[in-house]
Amino acid sequence: MTESILNLKGRTAVVFGLANKRSIAWGIAEKLHAAGCRLIISYQNDRLRQEAEGLLPELPGAEAVECDVSNDAAIAALFERLRKTVGKLDVLVHSVAYAPAEELKGDFVNTSREGFRIAHDVSVYSLIALSRAAAPLMTEGGSIMTLTYYGAEKVVPRYNVMGVAKAALEATVRYLAADLGSKNIRVNAISAGPIKTLAARGIGGFGEMLKAHAERAPLHRNTEQSEVGGAAAFLASDLASGITGETIYVDSGYNIMGF
């Protein structure tokens, strides 16, 4: 029998951006775990510790560690710990974004300097910092991935500075892919359709957005975390060995439509 090469046994992944079971990071962690990957789950702060630790029993062998990705010392401490405990790293999942709430309402033209800075620091620079810290541990090559959204390329009302940050994130993926390719480290983005997660809660009109998305998308339904997880497992695996610097859409096909 030929063995599937979507087999992540003996591989280790670190996943950033798990807030709760609705998180896209959770959908990804579940699929990586199912493929046999050892998991390190990273949560932002003390407030999210209980939530993250409560999910561990569902991923036997996983551990949870705190890391605020806007803090260089926290990133250095996490990767020093990983160097000692797991040694080799194969997969890094960046599923983190943040802009101050007031930036996601009102007009884009009113974006503040500080709102712009925070959105880009947390949602974009963090990928560079994490990739630089992870690369020395990816001694047998690796797969780095991040989450993006269609608002990077077309205007989505109220997505505002996050759209600009996602455009920068997609460009960052290409520059990182070019740098790290010589180490056989691949870097890609998954562009997910809208999903009702914590990061989507409280965004005005999100329900209507989901409805319109499902109506217009070729598959006539919304995107599920597990579908993003499936693409992530593929990108983590040797099946995707020729893919780097790309943005892959997991959005029920929404992005292909002109009208």
Q: Which residues are the active-site residues?
A: 149, 159
Closest CB to ligand 0WE among 93 and 99? 99
Pair 104, 158: CB distance under 8 Å: yes
Q: Which of 8, 37, 48, 135 binds ligand NAD (CB under 6 A)?
A: 48
Short-list 192, 129, 203, CA closest to 160: 203
Residue 62 contact, options ligand NAD, ligand 0WE, none, Cβ 5-8 Å cut-off depending on partner type: none
List the interface residues with ligand NAD, window 212-251 (CB under 6 A): none
- Residues making contact with ligand 0WE (CB under 6 A): 97-99, 101, 104, 149, 156, 158-159, 162, 194, 199-200, 203
Residue 73, classed as helix, strand or coil, is helix
- Binding window for ligand NAD (CB under 6 A); candidates: 81-89, 175-183, 187-195, 232-240: 187-195
- Which residues have a Cβ under 8 Å from the Cβ of 182 and sit 6 or more positions away? none
Is residue 70 part of the contact set for ligand NAD (CB under 6 A)?
Answer: yes
The nearest distance, CB 44 to ligand 0WE, in angstroms, is: 12
Report which secondary-structure segment, H or E, holds 175.
helix 160-180
Query: Bridge-partner residues for 185, per DSSP?
Result: 142
Q: Which amino acid is at 122?
A: V
By CB under 6 A, the count of residues binding ligand NAD is 26
Strand order in the sheet with 63-66: 63-66, 38-43, 12-16, 91-94, 142-148, 185-192, 247-250
Q: Give residues in contact with ligand NAD (CB under 6 A).
A: 17-19, 23-25, 44, 48, 68-70, 95-98, 122, 147-149, 192, 194-195, 197-200
